[in-house]
Structure 1
Amino acid sequence: MTKHFILMVEDHYELASTLCEFLEEHNFVVDHARNLDVARQLLKQHPYHILLLDINLPDGTGYDLCEWLRNEQGLDLPVLMLTARDTLDDKLKGFRAGTDDYLVKPFDFNELVYRVRALIKRSLGEVSNSQIKIHDLTLDPALQQITRAGQMIDLPPIQFKLLKLLMRNSPKVLTKQEIMLELWGDEEPESDALRSHIYNLRKMVDKPFEQKLIHTVSGVGLKIAVE
């Protein structure tokens, strides 16, 4: 089962410790930050699947971090705010700052797990089975079919998953670490496995066609887009 990575920003140590333990029992990997400064450093260094965010923090508010994440970093990472603030104004302020969901303390830990999983599935495009189309390339998740310029393309499972990941995130550049995390979770792949899959994906999706769609961004990662 693929593990998903969580950053929890919570200054209440006992609550954070209990939540981390509970989430790890449900197959999540959790990093914990007690303030905004540490949270920003971790978000710059690691790809996470979701951010669990308290509002009242020693060096600012969760609103500040959420706005920094959306406006300065341009990240669409799912954000779930966990807070004792339960007024409508507080919730609206959170949504304006860019949060995706809101859970008021005290909450049931099982409800938290369900909400986390729902947000991650939505962000990874696992909820929708609608077709994805970029230029003349179409991927149908429901039928597990790929066509380009009307020609069927048959890919093995890992390359199909890689192509779907790139297309769902287009035109965003995905880092090697982000791609490996989605393809293999915390299981270490064979040496040069990703390089080999990218090479074969290009050979099937790009080589027979004039317009190249798969692009390497030097020092950053990989994307699929029309350039």
Structure 2
Amino acid sequence: MSLVYIEKIPSSLRTAFENTVRAICDDLGIANPDWLMIVMWAESRLNPQAKNPSSTATGLIQFLEATARSIGTTTAALAKMNHVQQLPFVKAYLQQAIKSRGVPKDAYQLYFLVHFPSAFGKSDNTVLYRAGSSAYSANPLDYNKDSVVTVAEVKIFLQKACPVGYDINNLEKKGSLSSQTGKLLLWVLGISFFALTGYFMYKPDSWESFKEWIKDFIKHSIRGVRHEFS
């Protein structure tokens, strides 16, 4: 299954972008590549030229000038890159952040690595910024209007950044939706196998009848194939 928001990437870059995002997440131990897509959407609407008018923040994850220089580039250079060209710098930043803070266990912690690293791993009631600060003015996230922005309110913001109809529980689930479906199918098959095994052990005659049915099915199938090619 394709990543969320991948349709927002130009068609000529889409495959390379998705493959690179998946590779970055694999390399860094980020359990669900959709998390990174949602984080980039929240920060820049997946626009590598996105620029915050009140700061130096630029690009897919809104690199600050000091941050850009710490990974060997500048915001001016980043603004000239396309979606795929900018991803190695996204990876370089996340490598630094993960080395300092740890591997994010969910989309919220991944977002804090980008948006407010010191909030990584903090409780929901932790205050990040207060009314009167430049950070408070630049980030209108005070949903309960109490003059402070908390970890919980930033989580609400990330939930609002999810696609319409997206299950926000996936922000904490490991693996893409398709892999989760695969795991569920394996569980169903496993339970069915043990249930049938128990049933046939309880009623041996049923097992014999089942085996005969399988044999007949195979015979009829072989006859059908022979008839088709005769």
Work out which structure has the larger RCO, using CA pairs closer than 8 Å and 6 or more positions apart in sequence.
2
Query: Normalising by the residue count of structure 2, what TM-score does the alignment of the two structures yield?
Result: 0.31
Which protein has the bigger helix share? 2
Query: Normalising by the residue count of structure 1, what TM-score does the alignment of the two structures yield?
Result: 0.31
Which protein has the bigger strand share? 1
